[in-house]
Structure 1
Amino acid sequence: MTETADARPDKVRERTCIGCRKRSSPADLLRMTVSGGLVLPDPGRRAPGRGAHLHPTIECFELAVRRKAFPRAFKVPGPLETTGLREQIGKEQ
């Protein structure tokens, strides 16, 4: 079985924070998924579905909310519930 990481060993993986729009290593970002209109953190990076990434800081979270980046990142219509995500980010700081 071939893994994608072995296919391009010189390729550095980067993801873009939906808040500040800066590129970082996936290890520096919190992956999130959406389920039933609720944004859920995915610290293990294994949840199914489309993921989005965010620096685990209140500043990046607030920027993402202000820019309405969550629905765009997940490609879903309407507002999403982010209260639980904000509480978790606040605990980590």
Structure 2
Amino acid sequence: MSGRTRVRACPERTCVGCRKRAAKHELLRVTAVEGVCVPDPRATLPGRGAYLHLDLACLDLAVRRRALPRAFKAHGALDTDPLREHVAARADSTPAS
């Protein structure tokens, strides 16, 4: 052995709202199911996914920029109410850093 320690690379993803890169585990995976944006915290739902910070400001940016329909290659608007409720609940319970 060479004596060097191995450093595992942490996968990074880009938030569709603020467009900043972050570690995959810091972002929430979102999928589109029948025209509704659904949070996928376990990252197990099938299909194309998009990543978003657990912050209402990032969600508002994504909605305003129409980034979610573009990320899912969907035609028309998507319902973001379930996603908004999930982000609001998690953002309130997450301690500010």
Q: Provide TM-score, normalisation by structure 2.
A: 0.83
Q: What is the aligned partner in structure 1 of residue 47 from structure 2?
A: 49
Task: Check the 8 A contact 2:10/2:24 in 1, yes or no.
Answer: no
What runs of 5+ residues in structure 1 fail to find an aligned partner? 1-8
Following superposition, the deviation at residue 12 of structure 1 comes to: 3.5
Q: Deviations over 1:28-66 (max 9, x none)?
A: 000011110000000001110000000010010000011
**Paired residue for 2:82, among 81, 84, 92?**
84
Q: Which position in structure 2 is the counterpart of 1:32?
A: 30
The aligned residue for residue 60 of structure 2 is 62
| Matched residues, number | 85
TM-score, normalised with respect to structure 1? 0.86
Q: SS of the residue aligned with 1:27?
A: helix
Deviations 1:71-93 (A, max 9, x none): 00111111000011001111112
Structure 2: gaps of 5 or more residues:
1-6, 92-97
**RMSD of aligned C-alpha atoms?**
1.2
Name the larger-Rg structure.
2
Counterparts of 1:53 and 1:70, CA distance in 2? 9
Query: AA paired with 1:35?
Result: V
